[in-house]
Chains A and B, each alone.
Chain A
Amino acid sequence: MTKKPIQFKLNGADKAVFVDEGQNLLDVLRRGVGDLSPKYGCAQGTCGACTVLVDGEPYLSCLVLAQTMEGRQISTTAGLVVDGGVDPLQEAFMENFAAQCGFCTPGMLMAAKALLDRNPKPSREEVIEAISGNICRCTGYEPIINAILDAAGRGVGRRSA
C-alpha cells in the first residue's frame, strides 16, 4: 500500500503525516495525528458526528479523501479550547444541557461554529438548517438549538468572525 505524505494545519498547528491512498480525513485526524474530537458515527455522510471545518466551512471528514487536504486549514472541537478555557459556544452548550451522551456534540459544535462565524445573529430557522445534517439521538434538538441561539446572544460569531 502506498503512503502519501501530506501537510495541513490542524487548529493552527502544522501537521505532517503519511496517509493511505483512499483513507478518509476522519481516520487521519483520529489515528494519524491523534485528534480524537471528531467522531465516527456512520462513515456514510448521514450523522454529522465527524463534522470539521476546512478553511472555515463545514465538511464531513469521513467523506473527505485525506490526500486532498494538502495545505488546508482544519478546525475541530479540540481547537475550540483556548488557554485552557472553554469557548462561549461550549459554555452555552454546557449551560443549556445541549448534550447527553456527548457523541454528537463535537459535530454539533463545528456545525454551529460554521454558522455563527458566517451569520452571528441567526434566526431559529437558520440554526435548525445549520444543524440539519447532524443527528442527535439522546437530548433532542431543542436544547441544542437553544444553546446555539444563546451563544449567538453572547456574541460568539462576532468575536471569532
Chain B
Amino acid sequence: MSVEFRKDLFADERDDNLNEIGKPTRRQDILGHVTGRSPFYDDHLFEGLLHVRCVRSPHHHARIRSIDTSEAERMPGVVKVIRASDVPNNFNTLLSLLNFGRDDEPLISDKKVAYIGEPVLAIVADTDRQARDAVAAVRVDYQVLPHVLDVEDALKPDAPVVNETYPNNTFDYHDKYDHQKLRFGDVETAFSQADKIIEGRYQMSPIEQAPIETNGAIAAPETNDRFVCYTSTQALFFSLGTTAKLLNVSSNRLHFIGGTVGGGFGGKVDSLVEPMAILACMLTGKPCRFVWDRPEEMQVGAPRGAERWYLKDGVMNDGRIIARKFTGYFDAGAYTRLSSYAIIKGTAHLPGPYTIPNVSSDVFCVYTNRTPATAMRGFGVTGVDFAIESQMDRVAQAVGMHPVELRIVNAYRDGDMKAHRREAKNCALIECAQVAAEKASWPIRDEFKRMSSLHGGGGERARIPYTVTDENGRIGERRSGGVAPRPTTVLPPATPAPPPPAVAPTPTAQPDYAHPAAAPPYTPLSPAPLGPPPATPQPSPPLTKEPAEPPARQANRPGYSRFASNSGFRRR
C-alpha cells in the first residue's frame, strides 16, 4: 500500500523524520494468529468444565410473577440453578466505577424485565446441550407490561416507566436536568437575523458490533481462595471492578486474564459474562464456562445505540452558518450502560468542526424497552457527525454553494473559540477539504484554495459571546405534564411507509455559485457581553426556588462526583 505524504502542508510544524508511518510492519502477535495458537478466552481446557446458559425474557417489558425450576432441576446434568438471590450485590451501573450515575441494572432480573433477552435465571450443567435443555424446561410466569420502543414516545408523560431508577425515562444530568445542555451565544436572536433557516431530522439505527468471537468467560477456582477468569473483555480492569462489586468480593481475589480478544469494537466492555462465570464457579466449586451463542451476541449484545437528531441552522447567503441548534435523543435501551457518557462526549463535539458563533443543544439519554446500548467505535460522535454532515450538504444546496466550499468557509481555524469554550488548535479541516476536492476532481474556486487553517482565526472569532441560558427541562418537569421536549420548529410528520426518515438529499453535482462566499471574520450578532462569560457551558444561574418536583436522589457512595461536559470528571 502506498502512502502519499503532503509535506507542503504545515511543513514548519512537523518533523518529517518518520520511522514507522508508511512502512510495513509485522504485528507482534501475528505468529500466534496464523498458527492458531493465540490464547483466546475459550482456548482453555479444564477437566470437568461446566456450562452456563441463561433463561431470557421473550418480552419487551414484563413483570415476573413466578419462576418454576422444578422440572429443570431434575434434568440430567444440571448442577446448579442460579437465581437473582444468589447474586451478592445484584444491582449495578457500569459507570459506578467512575461514580457516574446510579445503579440501575441487575445481573439477573427476577422482578421485572425491560428488554427481550434480559436474563432472569441461569443454569449450570455438565454439557452445553444439557444446560440448554434445562433452560427450555424452566417455566416463567410473565405479566406482560406496555412497552415503548421509540425515544420520543418514551418522553411522553404517559409512557411506561422502563427503568425504575430513572422514572422519567431519561438519565438525570448534573442532579438538575433531564438532558445535557450546551449554550453558546444566542441562537434565537441569530435565527431572526439569518438569511435562511434550514432544518433537518436525522436518525440512525442501532448497530451490532458483531465480533466473530462472541462474548464469554471461563472461570476456575485457584489456590488461595482466588478465581481465575479467562475473558473476552476489552476492558480488563473495568470488568474486574464490576465483578468485584456485583459479587461483593475483594478484587484481589479475582485473577483476570484477557488481552487476546476475537474482535470487540466496543461490544465487549459491558462486563456481563465475567461475573456470571465467576458466580457459577463460586457456587459449584468447579470451572465454569459462560459463552454467548451467536443469537445472544446479536440480540442481547449491546449495540451502538440508535440516535435521532433535529438540527436547525441559521445561514447567511454567503454560506456562513451563524447559529445552529440541536435536539438529540440517544436510545439507551433499558439500562444506562455507557449512553449517559456518550452524550457528554457528543455534546463536547458540537457543533462539529465549524466555527459557529451561536450554538445551543439539548440531548436526552432516553430509556426504551430495547437492548441496552453501549460503546462502539467513536460512539457519541459518529451519529451526530452523520447528522451534521448531512445537514451541511442540505445547507450547501439551500444557499447554492459547493459543499466543499461551504465546509471550508465555516471550518475551525487556529485560535477560534469552540462552543464548549476551548480554543481550536492544530486545525486542518480546510486543508483536508482542499485535498479531498482535488483528489475527487471536484474543483473549488481559487479563493477557497487559498484559505488556510493557519490564518483568519482568533481575534473576534476567539471571543466567548454573551450567552443566553435557561432552566428548561428540570428533572421530572416533563413527566408531571410540564414542558415537552421537542425540536424548536414543528417539522412535517414522517410519512408512514416507506419510512427511512428524512436524510439529506444528494448535493447537486453542479452547484449554483450565485452567492460568492466571503472569507470570515464574523461580525458579532449580539451586543458586547454584559459580564464575564460563564466558565462552562453548563448554565448555573442562582437558584431562586427548588425544582417543581425535586427528584429523590442520593449519591451511591461517598466521593460522588459529577461529570462536567467540558472537562470530564470533576470531584467535589
Give me the interface of A with B, judged by CB distance under 8 Å: 1, 20, 22, 30-31, 34, 36-44, 46-47, 49, 76-78, 80-81, 86, 90, 93-95, 97, 99-106, 109, 135-138
Name the contact of A137 in the complex, choosing from B24, B31, B127, B265 (C-beta under 8 A).
Answer: B265
A-B contact pairs, 27 of them (CB 8 A): A1-B127, A20-B127, A31-B49, A36-B36, A36-B43, A36-B45, A37-B37, A39-B42, A40-B214, A41-B262, A42-B293, A78-B35, A80-B35, A86-B31, A93-B34, A94-B34, A95-B26, A97-B30, A101-B212, A101-B261, A101-B263, A101-B264, A103-B211, A105-B34, A105-B36, A137-B265, A138-B263
What is the 8 Å Cβ interface bit string for chain B, positions 111-148, against chain A (1 contact, 0 not)? Answer: 00000000000000001010000000000000000000
Tell which of B24, B32, B291 touches A102, judged by Cβ atoms closer than 8 Å.
Answer: B32
Contact B33 A39 (CB under 8 A): no
Task: Determine if A137 and B129 form an interchain contact, defined as CB atoms under 8 angstroms apart.
Answer: no
Q: Which of B33, B34, B209, B263 has the most CB of A within 10 A?
A: B34
Q: How far is the CA of A66 from the CA of B49 in the complex (A)?
A: 20
B76: Cβ under 8 A from any A Cβ: yes
Q: Is B294's beta carbon under 8 Å from chain A?
A: yes
Are B212 and A99 neighbours in the complex by a CB distance under 8 Å?
A: no
Contact between B34 and A137 (Cβ–Cβ < 8 Å)? no
Question: Is B460 located at the chain interface by the 8 A CB criterion?
Answer: no
Provided the pairs A99-B33, A102-B38 are in contact, do residues A137 and B263 lie with their beta carbons within 8 angstroms? yes
Is B318 among interface residues, defined by CB-CB distance under 8 A? no
Q: Is B210 an interface residue (CB 8 A)?
A: yes
Which of B24, B37, B127 is close to A97, meaning CB atoms less than 8 Å apart? B24
Separation of A3 and B40 alpha carbons in the complex (Å)? 28
- Least CB distance from B475 to A in Å reads 40
List of A residues within 8 angstroms of B210 by Cβ: 137
Q: Mark B213-225, 1 if CB is under 8 A from A, else 0.
A: 1100000000000
State in angstroms the CA–CA spacing of A137 and B263 once bound together.
7
* Chain B contacts for A43, CB-based, 8 A: 293-294
In the complex, residue of chain A having the shortest beta-carbon distance to the beta carbon of B128: A27
Question: How many residue pairs bridge A and B at CB < 8 Å?
Answer: 111
Q: Chain A residues near B30 (CB, 8 Å)?
A: 93-94, 97, 99, 102
Report Cα–Cα, A69/B444, bound state, in Å: 65
Q: Tell me which of B36, B211, B261, B265 has the highest count of chain A C-beta atoms within 10 A of its own C-beta.
A: B36
Residue of A nearest to B294 (CB): A42
The 10 closest A-B pairs by CB, nearest first: A37-B36, A102-B33, A103-B262, A77-B36, A42-B294, A90-B34, A99-B33, A36-B43, A41-B212, A106-B36
The digit string for B36-56, where 1 denotes a CB below 8 A from any CB of A, is 111010110100010000000
> Assuming the A-B contacts A41-B294, A103-B213, A136-B212, are A94 and B263 also in contact, with contact meaning beta carbons closer than 8 angstroms in the complex?
no
Contact (Cβ within 8 A) A101 B129: no
Q: Nearest chain-B residue to A109 (Cβ)?
A: B34
Q: Given the complex of chains A and B, what is the CA–CA distance between A38 and B35 in angstroms? A: 10
Which one, A39, A81, A97, contacts B40 given CB within 8 A?
A39
Closest B residue, CB atoms, query A77: B36
Which of A42, A102, A136 touches B29 (beta carbons < 8 Å)? A102
Known contacts A93-B34, A102-B260, A109-B34, then 17 further A-B pairs from the complex at CB < 8 Å, ordered by chain A residue = A37-B37, A39-B213, A40-B213, A41-B212, A42-B294, A49-B213, A77-B34, A86-B31, A90-B34, A99-B33, A100-B27, A101-B213, A101-B263, A105-B36, A106-B36, A135-B212, A138-B263
Give the chain A neighbours of B26 by CB distance below 8 A: 94-95, 97
Could you tell me the distance between the alpha carbons of A14 and B49 in the complex, rounded to whole angstroms?
Answer: 25
Query: Quick one: which of B29, B129, B213, B293 has the most chain A CB within 10 A?
Result: B213
Which chain A positions have C-beta within 8 A of B31? 86, 94
**CB-CB < 8 A to A109: which residues of B?**
34
Question: A103 touching B37 by the CB < 8 A rule?
Answer: no
B294 touches A76 (CB 8 A): no
Which residues 73-104 of B have a CB within 8 angstroms of A?
76
Shortest Cβ distance from residue A24 to the other chain B in the assembled complex, whole angstroms = 11
Partner of B36, one of A40, A47, A76: A76
- The answer for the CA separation of A37 and B32 in the assembled complex, in Å, is 10
Cβ distance B30 to chain A, nearest Cβ, rounded Å: 5
B120 to chain A minimum Cβ distance, whole angstroms, is 23
**Which of A30, A95, A102, A104: most chain B CB closer than 10 A?**
A102
Q: Compute how far the CA of A101 lies from the CA of B127 in the bound complex, rounded to whole angstroms.
A: 28
B552-564: CB near A (< 8 Å → 1, else 0) gives 0000000000000
Inter-subunit contact B293/A102 (CB<8 Å): no
Q: Which residues of A contact B261 (CB under 8 A)?
A: 101
